[in-house]
Structure formats: structure tokens, C-alpha cells
Amino acid sequence: MADTKMVPLTGKALLQKVKELSHLPKRETARECGYYSLTKDNQIRVNLTDFYDALLAARGITLSPEGTKDGRGREPTYRVSVHKNGQIVIGSTYTQEMGLKPGDEFEIKLGYKHIHLIQLDSAKDEDQN
């Protein structure tokens, strides 16, 4: 093995190399594909987790939804809860998804176990003034 660490393979190159090395144990295959690091005393440490993640990505499989996002925030759950102060907050993810802008107004209709927010048409309101 060379003294310089190779760049880990990804994508089709990774899949092809794994196919070529199918006769080797998984740790050896991961090392041959570049998924290893050197410890302080120059021992090889195989990074199987990174190898498996890259292998899944190369096959088009993602296990974590955060992987497709930009890494900020949380995924919308389409559920809210009442805060201790009695307020319900609808996050910006929902307002952006609906194309709402600052100043958009809603009428609140209370039902037995539900709340309806009915968007008021701002053009209709302007015509009435």
C-alpha cells in the first residue's frame, strides 16, 4: 500500500470496485476503496460506516431525510401543539410552502375539534375600500 491516502471512491466507480473485490472481506474492500484513516501510530482504521453510506448513496438509497435537505432546520411534521402561553405557532416552512407573504390575512373559524384558517382575498378587500 502507498504512503499517501487515496481519495474514497464514490458513485459508479465505487460500485464497480466493490464488484471487482467481491471475493475480499468487507473490511478489506472498504480499505481498498479508500475508506480508512491512519491513527497516530500509523495503524489503519477502516471506516465501515462511511463506506456503507457511500455504497447506499451510489445505489440511490438515502436513509436519512436530512441528507436531501440543506442541513438546516427540521422536517415539517404538519402538526402543531399549544404552547404554555396558550399560543399556536405555524412555522415558516408551512407559510413558504403555501406561498404566503408578510401581511397576508386569515379569518379564523373555530369548529368542535378543529380550527380553519381561511385566507382573505386582499384584492377583494382593496376593492371594498
User: Which pTM does this prediction carry?
Assistant: 0.47
Q: Which of these CATH numbers, 1.10.3470, 2.10.260, 3.40.50, 2.60.120, describes 75-129?
A: 2.10.260
Phi, psi at residue 117, to the nearest 5°?
Answer: -105, 115
Q: Is 110 helix (H, G, I), strand (E, B) or coil?
A: strand
C-alpha cell at 8: 474514497
Place of cell 407559510: 95
- Convert the pLDDT of each residue in 13-51 to its tens digit: 999 999 999 999 999 999 999 999 888 888 889 999 999
CA dihedral angle for residue 95, residue 97, residue 103, residue 109, rounded to 10 degrees: -60
Domain chopping of the chain, boundaries: 11-68, 75-129
Task: Give the pLDDT confidence of 74-116 residue by residue, as tens digits.
Answer: 677 778 888 889 888 888 888 888 888 888 898 999 988 888 8
For the cut 80, the answer to whether the pLDDT of residue 5 exceeds it is: no
Closest CA to 1 of 40, 32, 37, 47: 32
